[in-house]
Amino acid sequence: MNQKNLKLMRSNIHIHLKKIMALLLLNCSAFIVFAQTPDWINYSSRQLKYSNAQYYTGYAENSYPKKENPHNFLEKQKEKAASNLSENVQIRVESLTTNLSQQKNNEVSSYFKNSIATYSNVDLVGLQYLTHIDKKEKKVYVLAYLEKQALNKYYQQKLQSEVTRLDNLIQKAESFFQASNTKQAKIEHSNALLQANKCNSVQALLYASNTGSSTTSHTEKLIQLNQRLNQLLIKIETGEKRSINDLAALLSEKIIKGIPNHAQLKISYPTYADTKFTSPFAKRFSQVLQQELSNKGISILENPDHNTLLLKGTYWEESENIRVSLAVSDVNGKLICADENIMNKQYLIDKQISYKAENFSDAYTRMQHFRKDEMLSGDMILELWTNKGDENLLFQEGERLKLFVRVNTPSYLRVIYYLADGSKVLLLDNYYIDQSKINKVVEIPDEFECAEPFGYETLQLSAQTKAFKSLQTQVQYGYQFITESTNAIMANTRGFKKVSSADKKAEVRLNMTTYR
């Protein structure tokens, strides 16, 4: 081979090597982009791009079992992220609707109570997901997000026509009543009530999404329509001689007409006003209602499945009456039917049936303290429940209370029990959940017996990845009673700011009623 050909061959080899190196670099670059962890997995980056001011968000991350298909597991985590987002909306609605009620001298509260309890009837239009599967670490990540501005725009337009329809339905019911056709007036009133619940739910969500800075243009109109609807019910149903049995019988008839044949129901105790507290009256009413529905062929289930309908309700005082409002929805929150009626509260007083605990004022003030600057759930998913579940809790003297928790991150737990007499007991402090216990049900070691004082009480579970600062306590009757104020406790628990994705915290509460 001559020198010229050798030089040419070397040149060609050099060119080919450059091409090969370029291809290798390109492939490596593509691999790096594909394998790169998305920035939204980091808490700080996620907050910058999807801030609470502009978005509702829900986040979930979890390790998947070796034998499970990661894509199937991802779908389950999407449900968790959506549930987490929905919970954040609930917190926002409760907190800001309470503020709205205070601004309007509690007038609004009477009309949005049921909306707060059933706001999830509203479809969260525009819900989107970001997902990531890390096959090396065998973990999946999901971010569910919803832009508030887009949600507001959609429902502002929708609410205008819905409010007009509500006005027409109320006028129709009023016309029948004025014509002395009470039977048809009741039917049209029920139709108007169902429409009012839909409007009020949307209104509550709009107010929360609007950061609570002002009421929407339809708020005053809705208040007026709700007032007319309530006044019409009082005219139709005096409630003067009505017992709990009578009230349950009337409401059961409307429920049966509004739900599908052969439906299965899970009944929860109604709660008082815009709290989550229940009562002996609520328990007795629910028992009678359950019997009425069972006698008419409705199956009542304790543990609902995906086909079960959920019956929830609220009740509150209106002058000399007690108004009970019930709503039936499916497991996804879609409203199926709703109705309400009244009874004279003197009946309950004469029968010595408690419908509101003596410590209501103090408990309500405490609830407002909790709602102020309430933490929205983020990276850490925290759950708390009792041996009676996690909602509409009612414990009678002598009954046992067991607590169960689950958290998705190694963390320290603190449980504080706010008693009916205002005392605060530190039940558990810096109880550590290690890696082996995450996403598993953990039973709190101690068991508790319901005893005096009786009334509205609250269990607060806090979790964070850093150990809690000490609280000032003194031991009485074998328990650690906290001597600091509720505000000081909140500052201690919610005090540090999140500075990195490693610093996580969450908070959850259970409200319960205890009685003799």
For the residues of 98-157, what is the DSSP string, one character each? Answer: HHHHHHTTTTTHHHHHHHHHHGGGS--TT-EEEEEEETTTTEEEEEEEEEHHHHHHHHHH
The pLDDT of 382-387, averaged and rounded, is: 90
User: What's 296's DSSP letter?
Assistant: T
The answer to whether position 63 is within a domain reads yes
* Reported pTM: 0.73
The pLDDT of 134-151, averaged and rounded, is: 89
**Residue positions counted in the chain:** 516
**By mean pLDDT, which of 187-191, 359-363, 467-471 is the weakest?**
359-363
**How far is the first Cα of the chain from the last one, in angstroms, to the nearest whole number?**
108
Cβ contact 396:450 at 8 Å? yes
pLDDT of amino acid 217: 62
Distance CA 510, CA 387 (A): 12
The answer to whether position 503 is within a domain reads yes
In this structure, the answer to whether residues 372 and 510 fall within a common structural domain is yes
**By mean pLDDT, which of 100-104, 184-188, 467-471, 504-508 is the weakest?**
100-104
The answer to whether position 427 is within a domain reads yes
What DSSP string describes 158-215? HHHHHHHHHHHHHHHHHHHHHTT-HHHHHHHHHHHHHHHHHHHHHHHHHHHHTTTSS-
pLDDT of amino acid 26: 41
In this structure, the answer to whether residues 311 and 366 fall within a common structural domain is no
Distance CA 121, CA 136 (A): 40
Q: How confident is the model at residue 95 (pLDDT cuts 50, 70, 90)?
A: low
In this structure, the answer to whether residues 382 and 351 fall within a common structural domain is no
In this structure, the answer to whether residues 438 and 348 fall within a common structural domain is no
In this structure, the answer to whether residues 472 and 414 fall within a common structural domain is yes
**By mean pLDDT, which of 134-143, 148-157, 166-175, 345-354 is the weakest?**
148-157
Domain closes at, from 80, 113, 146 = 146
Q: How confident is the model at residue 502 (pLDDT cuts 50, 70, 90)?
A: low
The string of pLDDT tens digits covering residues 408-445 is: 889 999 999 999 998 999 988 999 999 889 888 999 87
**Parent domain of 415:** 362-515
The answer to whether position 236 is within a domain reads no
In this structure, the answer to whether residues 339 and 392 fall within a common structural domain is no
Domain closes at, from 356, 379, 413 = 356
Is a pLDDT exceeding 60 seen at residue 239? no
Distance CA 490, CA 508 (A): 13
The pLDDT of 201-222, averaged and rounded, is: 68
How many independent structural domains does the chain possess?
Answer: 3
Of 353, 364, 490, nearest in space to 422 by CA: 364
Q: Can you point out the beta strands (E) in 255-381?
A: 264-267, 271-272, 299-300, 309-318, 321-329, 335-344
Output the CA torsion 69→75→81→87 (10° steps). Answer: -130
Kindly state the percentage of the chain with pLDDT values over 90: 33
Of 260, 376, 358, nearest in space to 308 by CA: 260
Domain closes at, from 334, 356, 378 = 356
The answer to whether position 328 is within a domain reads yes
Q: How confident is the model at residue 260 (pLDDT cuts 50, 70, 90)?
A: confident
Query: Which residues are registered as beta bridge partners of 338?
Result: 327
Distance CA 145, CA 82 (A): 8
Is a pLDDT exceeding 80 seen at residue 515? yes
Which backbone phi and psi does 221 adopt, to 5 degrees?
-60, -40
Can the peptide bond before residue 453 be classed as cis, meaning omega within 30 degrees of 0? yes
In this structure, the answer to whether residues 60 and 83 fall within a common structural domain is yes
In this structure, the answer to whether residues 253 and 394 fall within a common structural domain is no
In this structure, the answer to whether residues 138 and 77 fall within a common structural domain is yes
Is a pLDDT exceeding 70 seen at residue 8? no
Q: How confident is the model at residue 103 (pLDDT cuts 50, 70, 90)?
A: very low
The string of pLDDT tens digits covering residues 459-500 is: 999 999 999 999 999 998 878 999 988 777 777 665 544 444
Is a pLDDT exceeding 60 seen at residue 49? yes
In this structure, the answer to whether residues 74 and 129 fall within a common structural domain is yes
Distance CA 152, CA 159 (A): 10
Distance CA 457, CA 244 (A): 25
Is a pLDDT exceeding 80 seen at residue 338? yes
The CATH number that applies at residue 71 is 3.10.28
> Position 300: which residue type?
I
> Position 50: which residue type?
Y
User: In this predicted model, which residue has the larger pLDDT, 378 or 231?
Assistant: 231
The answer to whether position 26 is within a domain reads no
The CATH number that applies at residue 437 is 2.60.40.1930
The pLDDT of 174-195, averaged and rounded, is: 91
Look at the alpha carbons of 114, 118, 121, 127 in this order and tell me if their dihedral is positive or negative.
positive
User: What's 453's DSSP letter?
Assistant: S
Q: How confident is the model at residue 357 (pLDDT cuts 50, 70, 90)?
A: confident
Task: List the Cα angle 155/161/163 in 5-degree steps.
Answer: 90
The pLDDT of 188-210, averaged and rounded, is: 82
pLDDT of amino acid 29: 38
Is a pLDDT exceeding 60 seen at residue 119? no
Is a pLDDT exceeding 70 seen at residue 403? yes
In this structure, the answer to whether residues 377 and 432 fall within a common structural domain is yes
Helical (H) or strand (E) element with 459: strand 455-464
Cβ contact 371:470 at 8 Å? no
The pLDDT of 151-168, averaged and rounded, is: 88
